[in-house]
Structure 1
């Protein structure tokens, strides 16, 4: 019998310490019913009932629709303004990328770079579809320098 009473006393002490720490460290918005300091007195002055009341009543639960004391509602993607702005931004980025690709294709056509449909290109010679530069006699590696 003494062992049982000792075990119950240990459980009550552990429960009281746990609820005191929980009450002291819990976010202010989650404390329900009474102010925090009143809950601490209830936990200390009413040994078994105080901690149980704190766990059942005083400690606010985090529900499925709550986020840090703020209610969060789900919004369909077509009603979410941030989502729609992201789509507009993605669409404009895709249009910009298409414009850059078209500009690159136009530049390739101007300098005569062969494309995948016509690998050699009409009348193109040399690497990359460009004609090799013919050097003048006496011209070295550096432009403007003539070897004697």
Structure 2
């Protein structure tokens, strides 16, 4: 088992460094071009991957970042950093002053009255066959 540990370590290091080298932005790789780093990682065991980690891979400063994570608690989503509307006293005052609720109730009552009137007219028209002037056909006509 210890004999295979070195081989597994080498393969893991090569795979890690190779993936990282391929994904690195070409302008940010240090000291050698990307293709040279790939050849170095693949053909020189242990030394190539370690050299990539030490001297080739982009640093956080060269990648244009000062820290590897966002500086805010909300992971860079500004919509979570804004205060909620119910935290704003002016918003709450506008809600209290608005009488949209009473307007909505009045409109709903009007719609219900109109619906009841149309239903009663439709029931009356069904009970009394008309001449068709009310838009309803007598029963049994196509």
TM-score scaled by structure 2? Answer: 0.43
Structure of greater Rg: 1
TM-score scaled by structure 1? Answer: 0.41
